Amino acid sequence: MANQEDKFKKVISHAKEYGYVFQSSEIYDGLSAVYDYGQNGAELKKNIREYWWKAMVQLNDNIVGLDSAIFMHPTIWKASGHVDAFNDPLIDNKDSNKRYRADVLIEDYVGKLDSKIEKEVKKAAKRFGDKFDKEQFLATNQRVVDYKEQGDSILKRMGQSLEKEDLADVKALIEELDIACPMSGSKNWTDVKQFNLMFGTKLGASAESAMDLYLRPETAQGIFVNFLNVQKSGRMKIPFGIAQTGKAFRNEIVARQFIFRMREFEQMEMQFFIQPGTQKEWYDTWKEKRMKWHLSLGLGQDNYRFHDHDKLAHYADAAADIEFRFPFGFKELEGIHSRTDFDLGSHEKFSGKKLQYFDHETNKNYVPYVLETSIGLDRMFLAVFATSLQEEELENGSTRTVLKLPAVLAPTKAAILPLIKKDGLPDVARAIVKDLKWDFNVTYDEKDAVGRRYRRQDANGTPFCITVDHQTLEDQTVTIRHRDSMEQERVAISDLKRIIHEAVDMKTWLKKMD
Ligand code: ATP
């Protein structure tokens, strides 16, 4: 655990030191759970957004984009169920006065059981060597089976109690599991209460005529209320999807995990409109498609898993999370929800307008069902950034810090370095920058010895360093150093564009989804 905590602290400090993520309003001591993205963070975030957008909108001829406003008519949030049901169960510890999400305390307890299982697996893998069969071990080792059953039954009971709004039982569960406040170690808990997560605001100049509004807690409703506008103007035929990225706001009860849980964050959502009755098939299809998108980035298959929901949200008939191994354990990264006709049906009722689709083949009108994929851009950023940050032991005994970002997402693709600051080398290096910048984000760096500059670019996540030396003046070649392998090769300046392009081209990476 201490190790995990250290690693997470390293992630946060590296993100600040290299211009990826800053605490919001830092000179005023910050604003809790709100963050700003620096010069590198803004690029990485933009690249992740683009990677998602291309996979969703450009590569699917039946999915189109949308950019709806953050402010929406307040009745939308009544229709969507957010006014009545967008609550989290909160619990306070009376000794530390710290506030927690009751469900998260319980999930963390189960997370510890999962870590125990992982430990047993590691031990056994060591003991059995090549003969180790993980699936068989998980199914037959009594200790592991017990941990798993215990975890499953805890989550099931919690899910059922939350669904029935039986908050007394959620508290009873916390007490039975002997869960202590992580800050104080005390088990002196208040009752569990519901807390609505929406931020309210006002629209209008005078106090009397001002209208109460909410900042949207998800981008999805902007898609639902525009369903017919897009369907008609784009002459879309079911099945089709609408995708959008944008800010969402939630007054999270506990927000202590850096950009994992923020009060202002960005979502990338896609609502896929389908014929009622086909939802199971589309649910399976989108689970698979989204997992392939994740795996295409090469962060390691072992870092992902599906988790099927025991407690379904008020709108869903099936839901699964894609969980990722964050520095603090496996947690939700993306949700895939089968939302039935809940949202469109409800907007029909509240608005009095028909939101139906006319199917020319069957000559019938119906309210489409919806399959949704919803991922947090900031969470994806954290997944990519934390996994990429590595400390490596080198052959000479030293260590290097390297940010092995997938090259397609890296903010800067290449750094151009004159070996020394004289003999005309800077001029050649600057000419290379001038040429490459039309195609890629590149940077020029002449300060310090070249070894130090390599390390700086490693820590910054730059996939290539291109060094101009005296030989360059004679034969128009440079060395290109690869960040991950640290190998260097001598190549012609005229080949640089092709080499970089092959490594960072979105097309090449996205094709790995096939
Ligand atoms: P959690 O259980 O972690 O609160 P959720 O189930 O409420 O998440 P959804 O409503 O399904 O989340 O939102 C879809 C996605 O939006 C999540 O998978 C996550 O990546 C992202 N997300 C949700 N809340 C936050 C937040 N406060 N900060 C950053 N990202 C968030």
In the numeric block, which tokens belong to residue 193?
């209460």
Q: Which atom of ligand 1 is nearest to the CA of 313?
A: 6
Fold (topology level) of 412-513? Rossmann fold (3.40.50)
Protein residue closest via CA to atom 6 of ligand 1: 335
Q: Which phi and psi (to 5°) does residue 486 adopt?
A: 65, 10
Between the CA of residue 212 and those of 72, 82, 86, 196, what are the distances in Å? 11, 15, 17, 15
Residue 337 in contact with ligand 1 by CB distance below 6 A: no
Residue 163 contacts residue 312 (beta carbons within 8 Å):
yes
Q: How many whole angstroms separate alpha carbon 297 and alpha carbon 414?
A: 19
Residue 221 in contact with ligand 1 by CB distance below 6 A: no
Rounded to 10°, the helix 167-176/142-163 angle is: 150
Residue 261 in contact with ligand 1 by CB distance below 6 A: yes
Q: In the chain, which stretches have pLDDT less than 50?
A: 1
Q: Which atom of ligand 1 is nearest to the CA of 331?
A: 3
Rounded to two decimals, the pTM is 0.88
Protein residue closest via CA to atom 25 of ligand 1: 261
User: Cα(354) to centroid of ligand 1, in Å?
Assistant: 30
Residue 332 in contact with ligand 1 by CB distance below 6 A: yes
User: Cα(231) to centroid of ligand 1, in Å?
Assistant: 28
| 261, 307, 310, 378: residue to mutate for ligand 1 pocket, most atoms within 8 A of CB | 261
User: Cα(380) to centroid of ligand 1, in Å?
Assistant: 11
Residue 239 contacts residue 274 (beta carbons within 8 Å):
yes
The upper half-sphere exposure of residue 478, i.e. CA atoms within 13 Å in the direction of its Cβ, equals 25
Residue 246 in contact with ligand 1 by CB distance below 6 A: no
Protein residue closest via CA to atom 23 of ligand 1: 376
Residue 268 in contact with ligand 1 by CB distance below 6 A: no
User: Cα(268) to centroid of ligand 1, in Å?
Assistant: 11
Rounded to 10°, the helix 2-17/377-388 angle is: 110
Protein residue closest via CA to atom 16 of ligand 1: 376
Q: What pLDDT, in 10s, does the model give residues 276-333?
A: 999 999 999 999 999 999 999 999 999 999 999 877 777 788 999 999 999 999 999 9
Q: How many whole angstroms separate alpha carbon 267 and alpha carbon 396?
A: 44
DSSP bridge pairs for 247: 266
The superfamily CATH assigns to domain 48-73+200-389 is Bira Bifunctional Protein; Domain 2 (3.30.930.10)
pLDDT computed for residue 2 by the predictor? 54
pLDDT computed for residue 1 by the predictor? 47
If you classify domain 87-196 with CATH, what class do you get? Answer: alpha beta
Residue 250 in contact with ligand 1 by CB distance below 6 A: yes
In the numeric block, which tokens belong to residue 242?
């609408």
Residue of 49, 367, 352 whose CA lies nearest to 219: 49
Protein residue closest via CA to atom 20 of ligand 1: 376
Residue 231 in contact with ligand 1 by CB distance below 6 A: no
Residue 92 in contact with ligand 1 by CB distance below 6 A: no
The upper half-sphere exposure of residue 380, i.e. CA atoms within 13 Å in the direction of its Cβ, equals 28
Domain boundaries, the chain: 48-73+200-389, 87-196, 412-513
Q: Which atom of ligand 1 is nearest to the CA of 250?
A: 27
Q: Which atom of ligand 1 is nearest to the CA of 88?
A: 4
